[in-house]
Amino acid sequence: MISNLPPSGFRDFLPRECRARAKAAKIISEAASSAGFQAMETPAVEDLAVLTGKGSGENERLIFQILKRGEKLKEEFDGLILKPGQASPGLADSGLRFDLTVPLSRYYARHQGFLPHPFKAFHMGPVWRAERAQKGRYREFIQCDFDVLGSEDLACELDVVSTIVSALRDLGLAEGLSVSLNDRRVLAGDLREAGVSAEFEGRTLILLDKKDKMPEEVFTRELDGLLGEKTAKALSGALARDASSAAAEPLARLRDLQGSISRLCPWAEFKIDRGLVRGFDYYTGPVFEIRHPRAAGSIAGGGRYDGLIQAFGGRPTPAFGGSIGFERVMLLLEEMKGSESGEDGARVCVTIFSPELRGETFAAAARLRARGLKVDVCPLSGRLKSQFKYADATGARWAIVIGPDEAAAGRFKLKDLRSGEEALETWEELNARIQSAAAMEAHLA
Amino acid sequence: MISNLPPSGFRDFLPRECRARAKAAKIISEAASSAGFQAMETPAVEDLAVLTGKGSGENERLIFQILKRGEKLKEEFDGLILKPGQASPGLADSGLRFDLTVPLSRYYARHQGFLPHPFKAFHMGPVWRAERAQKGRYREFIQCDFDVLGSEDLACELDVVSTIVSALRDLGLAEGLSVSLNDRRVLAGDLREAGVSAEFEGRTLILLDKKDKMPEEVFTRELDGLLGEKTAKALSGALARDASSAAAEPLARLRDLQGSISRLCPWAEFKIDRGLVRGFDYYTGPVFEIRHPRAAGSIAGGGRYDGLIQAFGGRPTPAFGGSIGFERVMLLLEEMKGSESGEDGARVCVTIFSPELRGETFAAAARLRARGLKVDVCPLSGRLKSQFKYADATGARWAIVIGPDEAAAGRFKLKDLRSGEEALETWEELNARIQSAAAMEAHLA
């Protein structure tokens, strides 16, 4: 028998989960569209040359590679003799995208003549990484990226960060939102000021990036070990200072951003964190990271990456981008609200009394739908008990029964699935009852 | 230099295309949800054992296979010696799904205890096929499937077909919609009646399935060649008859369906086409196919497949499903409406007069958004000409300029990008103007 599980690290979604995910995706898309970010899409599959070009870094070894097909695959194998341990030859020509930034770069290089300049892009979709599967880490997950390409103005930073922070507010996550800001040039200045030599810069940044994941004293010990006590102390001093002699202008710009965005999004706290690295080595200017008190890691982040976009032969293009960690946000929403109720499912379920009344029953359901109601028809006829069970399982509030007497009288039996009460009603009475219940629930929500 | 093209057969989508696709997807999802079909999702990647199990048929050789990784791949290669022409060994363990029916079967086998019974599923997402890329045929495309699992009642047929036909109406495709209905058991009866031997049954069905794609006389010649003139004539006779002695009950049921659904969806024509095969060999009962006068092939179709679902160890489960050919529908909509206007983009674009007014400008945009308007901010400061050019490229109707005088007076300059007119207004005046223009356009649309 074939296993009914998806591959390790991949997920199925039950209807309840699909509704919650679709709702969150809609809120995020609307925040993007409302602020003038334009939806764009790229395919799941890219040539390996694109994926392994500039910008992939660490992620390159996590690519799901796609086997060549037909003659092309045969050519790779013809006469092939592999020695133990030898690397795989050119068996793959393409792979699944591991982020949305590499495809965006290719897309912009190809289409920039047809896009507004600057281009404010909203790019949302699944990405795939062949990471070791573990709790909360999946091999297929959704990314939501907001990017402004083609402008160096601080408006990009304001636009992307405020749109992301507004989307998080619209998701119900305003309370306790905290945004850390830094600038890579300020950080580089701090390292130079403290006397960290170029040789140790990379390892120092990696250590700073992991600071939040380790106890304070472990961090201090590791920093001392890496740089020597004297330089480590000088660095801690530089990061704690208000000024930056090596990067005064980027720091002033960062303060400007902090001031404007604090006024714009008063529901979140914006602070400058001089030690913030935010991973990727392609960042060249401001970086940010958003945290929520109930989430372990960051739930959004990004930065300026002025050198990346032209890798595919486009013109030199300044760029600032940020993304919402969709899976982390979903986890957070689920923990905060408990499991979603069936509220978005069909509220009314019409049963089919007998095969003869099937057509009439569907027609009745269509009339109710024309009034804007969600109306399910149970796809069984007869055996009302099974049909009530179905209605209940779908989260319906009411079940409707139309027997031959009811059909003849233009009425139907309404069963309240919560109270068990039954009543004989006309369509008008039902409609009024449903509208008032909906209004009541909207009021309570 | 790395190519900026997606792989052959894969597509990028420009913002205008994304808006049109999202709008169509929303209409289809809402038709599904309004009729009680529940959204479900499965991953892009499935184990090869799942994909190549029952039900894959022809499509199996079109699977994009995913290379094993790390130790598992190395094991396959250790000491491997391949002779010329030898098939590839176990290099792949998984692949991209080529349809949504195989994943649905696995999903249902795994989750049926947590799902309503019967289960009305709406499953929409990309699938991948390594077909030779050509115009109108892509290697990545969207499928929208509606299925009812767990009921033999004709309500399933009524429910799926009427929901699909309603979705097509909501997409603006009602005019000229034509639905062909048949039943595989009636067709099998017709073949038996005509004296087609079991040996020739498969080839006869394949030929019938292709009938629409060839001139009448070519079909007649090929049928004569396959079955001999006498049997071919008997078959044509059987298919043209009103009755079916071999399958009277399924035919009566099909007529019942035709009557009910014609009354339910009077905007479409429903006819019984005794020669309709509808491809897949897993169909066991009623099949249907939907055509539109301006589309070359069918734009939707499906059938009953009672034997398929239990392949993954679920209980025997009757099933009826249909799907909308999303890509064909998009092609049709594009041809019918011409290119979509920018109407769904941001209607108002706020320019940034100078860096000092950046924060104030974003705050003004946020106030307009809070009133429900879509408001873009051009991510540049200064050089108004570039900003107007940006506003125009995004399809904005109005550009707003807030200089220091305007900011101090609580006013702003409004430029109508269609007429070029400029006016000094208050926020209240702007809001009234935009609302009335929106109402006017909604009225005209």
B65 in contact with A at a CB cutoff of 8 Å?
yes
Listed by number, the residues of chain B in 149-208 with a beta carbon closer than 8 Å to a beta carbon of chain A are 151, 153-156, 158-159, 162, 166
Could you tell me which residue, B259 or B338, shows the higher pLDDT?
A: B259
Q: DSSP secondary-structure letter at B117?
A: S
pLDDT in tens, A366-380: 988 888 888 999 999
- Give, in words, the CATH class of B346-444: alpha beta
What CATH architecture is A15-73+88-337? 2-Layer Sandwich (3.30)
B311 in contact with A at a CB cutoff of 8 Å?
yes
pLDDT band at residue A316 under the 50/70/90 scheme: confident
Tell whether the model's pLDDT for residue A56 goes beyond 60: no
pLDDT band at residue B342 under the 50/70/90 scheme: very low
pLDDT band at residue B294 under the 50/70/90 scheme: very high
pLDDT band at residue A426 under the 50/70/90 scheme: confident
Position B313 scores a pLDDT of 72
Give the angle subtended at the CA of B379 by the CAs of B378 and B383, to the nearest 5°.
Answer: 75
Q: Do A263 and B22 touch (CB under 8 A)?
A: no
Tell whether the model's pLDDT for residue A141 goes beyond 80: yes
A379 closest CB neighbour out of B109, B120, B378: B120
Q: Do A120 and B379 touch (CB under 8 A)?
A: yes
Tell whether the model's pLDDT for residue A294 goes beyond 90: yes
Q: Do B19 and A2 touch (CB under 8 A)?
A: no
pLDDT in tens, B172-216: 999 999 999 999 999 999 999 999 998 998 899 999 999 888 999
Listed by number, the residues of chain A in 76-115 with a beta carbon closer than 8 Å to a beta carbon of chain B are 77-86, 88, 91-94, 96, 106-107, 109-111, 114-115
Q: What percentage of chain A reaches a pLDDT higher than 70?
A: 91
Position A343 scores a pLDDT of 52
Instruction: Name chain A contacts of B43, Cβ cutoff 8 Å.
Output: 6-7, 10-12, 140
Mean pLDDT, rounded, for B242-270: 93
B41 closest CB neighbour out of A13, A35, A148: A13
Instruction: Name chain B contacts of A22, Cβ cutoff 8 Å.
Output: 29, 39
* H or E element at residue B77: helix B70-77
User: How far does B5 lie from chain A, in Å, by closest CA?
Assistant: 7
Position A279 scores a pLDDT of 80
A34 closest CB neighbour out of B22, B74, B374: B374
Mean pLDDT, rounded, for B339-346: 51
The C-alpha atoms of residue B377 and residue B358 are separated, in whole angstroms, by: 10
Round the average pLDDT of chain A to a whole number and report it.
88
Residues 6+ apart with CB under 8 A from B132: none
pTM of the model: 0.91
Name beta bridge partners: B423.
B414
Q: Do A379 and B148 touch (CB under 8 A)?
A: yes
Position B152 scores a pLDDT of 94
Tell whether the model's pLDDT for residue B318 goes beyond 90: yes
Q: Do B81 and A84 touch (CB under 8 A)?
A: no
Tell whether the model's pLDDT for residue A339 goes beyond 50: no
Cβ neighbour number for residue B1 with a 10 Å cutoff: 8
- Give, in words, the CATH class of B15-72+88-337: alpha beta
* H or E element at residue B411: strand B411-416
Could you tell me which residue, A338 or A181, shows the higher pLDDT?
A: A181
Tell whether the model's pLDDT for residue A256 goes beyond 60: yes
Same fold across B15-72+88-337 and B346-444: no
Listed by number, the residues of chain B in 234-263 with a beta carbon closer than 8 Å to a beta carbon of chain A are 259-260, 263
Position B107 scores a pLDDT of 95
Q: What percentage of chain B reaches a pLDDT higher than 70?
A: 91
The C-alpha atoms of residue B353 and residue A153 are separated, in whole angstroms, by: 12
pLDDT band at residue A63 under the 50/70/90 scheme: very high
Instruction: Name chain B contacts of A257, Cβ cutoff 8 Å.
Output: none
Q: Where are the domains of chain A?
A: 15-73+88-337, 348-444
Instruction: Name chain B contacts of A13, Cβ cutoff 8 Å.
Output: 40-42
Q: What percentage of chain A reaches a pLDDT higher than 90?
A: 62
Position B118 scores a pLDDT of 94
pLDDT band at residue B28 under the 50/70/90 scheme: very high
User: How far does A142 lie from chain B, in Å, by closest CA?
Assistant: 12
User: Which CATH number is associated with domain A348-444?
Assistant: 3.40.50.800
Could you tell me which residue, A141 or B309, shows the higher pLDDT?
A: A141
Of the given ranges (B217-221, B308-312, B410-414), which has the lowest mean pLDDT? B308-312
Judged on CB neighbours under 10 Å (0-12, 13-18, 19+), B397 is: buried
pLDDT band at residue B74 under the 50/70/90 scheme: low
Position A342 scores a pLDDT of 43
Judged on CB neighbours under 10 Å (0-12, 13-18, 19+), B48 is: middle
Listed by number, the residues of chain B in 411-440 with a beta carbon closer than 8 Å to a beta carbon of chain A are none
